[in-house]
Chains A and B, each alone.
Chain A
Amino acid sequence: VTAHLFFDGRRVRVEPGQTVAAALWAAGVRSWRTTRETGAPRGMFCGIGVCFDCLVTVDGTANQRACLVPARPDMVVTTQLGTGR
């Protein structure tokens, strides 16, 4: 059975052991946040939890590091605009 999470309403496949960033990246998604000042798109940068560029909203909680949070089936991931609040 194939597992999926939902990203902005779209189904994204989840493999065991993947992070949220990896699942999105594998689905061709490159950005899931916009900056607070200029609204520029951002996605993964350091990939190891240091830079906080990959912040995203997971199951309603903003500011989660997509590169660290394990992807789980049926998770609801939404693009974070600005501060996420």
Chain B
Amino acid sequence: MTLPRTGPSGSLPLTYDVAVVGAGPAGLAAAASAAAAGCRVALLDAAPAAGGQYWRGRDPGVALSGVDVMTGSAVWFVSPGFSVHRQGGGTVTAGRLVFATGGYDRALPFPGWDLPGVVTPGAAQALLKGSGVPIGNQVVVAGAGPFLLPVATGLVATGVKVVGVYEAGDPTRYARAPGAVAGAGGKVREAAGYLATLARHRVPYRTRHAVVAAHGVASVSSVDVGRLDRSGGLVPGSVRQVECDAVAVAYGFTPQLELPLALGCATQLDPDGSLVLSVDVAGQTSVPGVYAAGEVTGVGGAALAEVEGRLVGAAVALATGHPCPLSEVELARLLARRSALRRFAALMHRVHAPPAGWPAWLAENTVVCRCEDVPVHRIRAAIAELGATDGRTVKSLCRPGMGWCQGRVCGYPVAELTARWLGRPLTAGDLAAFAHRPIAQPVRLGDLYRHRP
């Protein structure tokens, strides 16, 4: 299809100075910041209300006067110029774009992870905060990262029995980097509050522990929990069974990149093993006029996302000939805060890295790609017998990442397994093979026809 080509140097009249995709902490801040400078701003989000997964159902308290907020607007395609195409029809055009599309839980496969009742911590949180339904009556929370704590305490607060929180990382390692921790003081206070709540309810919080298998018939009824050694391997003889009716488990987050990748934005490998957008000091990607803020530039949490959003909003304002919405003092403070929070995020990624030993927990018939039912042995065969040397070839040979979710869930584990079994480090290319999804949302042929240009 042919779409009008306009942009920073284009001549066609544009509807907006900037379209911000994603209304979580980063997108809200970017939209508010740009609008404060006088930019015409569109803010789009797939959800029925602004706030993203972080603010879900609560008031973010961000002044959005002058912003056209378009909720219920899942963006399925963005074309150069820029035209932002919304699921169900309707196109927004803008001279600049800000991608603040956030991320989602990064799951690792293990035997039984496809049993009903095994979910991600994000699912448990969305179900509780969005619909008021606890994920179970006897819940195991596991994986890695600070997000496990609010999920567990949220469940406890509603009277659910959390039978244990199993963190694969070793949070005592935070103490070895006091400088980085001091720069993110609020986070330490928050974590301490969660730990105190868990202790008060006698919820065991075990570090260097992991869920290595789930058991059950129609749904999960128990998990195997084991202790991890310093190198992330399972300590022999340490596995014990824990009864539960739900498990919330994931290891950090995966940034949501399909829209910027479709525009050709350059990416790089972040320290947590995620594919992220490469951005300059102003938050601009390798594509002129396309900016990014929040988890898509590197997973770092809501506070960092908001700071990045405010800075990107200011950068967009300046680029479109508006005054800077920030005073020199504010600008200096935000830049310093961004540095401090990025330093903390780098430390967080080291402390809560996925345990190196996870591939050893897989059985040959463990499903890795949940959509296409691809078990471990087919991925192993693609490499060992058919000669695949990269993620893209593994995908072509045995179909992981080619189903409904388009590699959103199995992309990271398949890329990791490919690198491991070839005896080399994970590369950005392995991850990119599973991250390119030119059509970012399901779209009906009828809608395409009705809204053809």
Contacts and interface: CB of A to CB of B under 8 A. Distances in A.
Contacts of B130: 17, 19, 22
B370 to A, nearest CB: 6
B405 A50 contact: yes
B231 interface: no
Given A42-B114, A48-B104, A35 B46 contact: no
What's the interface size class on B, roughly? 35 or more
Contacts of A70: 48
Nearest to B113: A45
A29 to B, nearest CB: 9
Nearest to A31: B116
B133 A46 contact: no
Central interface residue in A17, A38, A49, by most chain B CB within 10 Å: A49
A11 interface: no
Contacts of B104: 46, 48, 50
Given A41-B218, A45-B120, A50 B409 contact: yes
A44 B132 CA distance: 15
B46 A49 contact: yes
B408 A50 contact: yes
Interface in A21-54: 21-23, 25-26, 30-31, 35-38, 40-53
Contacts of A51: 370, 405, 408-409
Nearest to B404: A52
Interface string A50-65: 1111010000000100
B131 A22 contact: yes
Nearest to B53: A48
Interface stretch (B121-129, B155-163, B389-397): B121-129
A15 interface: yes
Contacts, number: 103
A50 B132 CA distance: 20
A67 interface: yes
Given A22-B130, A41-B218, A47 B404 contact: no
Given A19-B130, A51-B405, A45 B119 contact: yes
B127 A47 contact: yes
A3 B133 CA distance: 16
Interface string B396-433: 00000001110011000000000000000000000000
A23 to B, nearest CB: 8
B124 A47 contact: yes
A22 B119 CA distance: 13
A63 B162 CA distance: 33
A30 B405 contact: no
Given A26-B133, A31-B219, A21 B408 contact: no
Nearest to A19: B131
Contacts of A40: 114, 367, 373
Given A19-B131, A48-B104, A43 B116 contact: yes
Nearest to B74: A49
Nearest to B125: A47
A46 B132 contact: no
Contacts of B372: 37
A45 B46 contact: no
B370 A45 contact: yes
A42 B116 contact: yes
Given A22-B127, A38-B373, A47 B119 contact: yes
Contacts of A37: 372-373
B300 interface: no
Contact of B133 (A22, A31, A36, A52): A22
A34 B15 CA distance: 45
B86 to A, nearest CB: 15
Interface in B123-151: 123-127, 130-133, 135
Contacts of A42: 114, 116, 370
A63 B409 CA distance: 18
B373 A31 contact: no
B409 A41 contact: no
Contacts of A38: 373
B308 interface: no
A55 B367 CA distance: 18
B64 interface: no
A22 B132 CA distance: 8
A17 B131 CA distance: 6
Contacts of B370: 35, 42, 45, 51, 53
21 contacts: A15-B131, A25-B133, A26-B131, A26-B133, A37-B373, A38-B373, A40-B114, A40-B367, A40-B373, A41-B116, A41-B218, A41-B219, A43-B219, A44-B123, A46-B123, A50-B409, A52-B371, A53-B405, A55-B404, A63-B442, A70-B48
Interface of A: 15, 17-19, 21-23, 25-26, 30-31, 35-38, 40-53, 55, 63, 67, 70
Given A22-B133, A26-B133, A48-B104, 8 more contacts: A17-B130, A21-B127, A31-B218, A36-B373, A46-B122, A47-B126, A47-B127, A53-B370
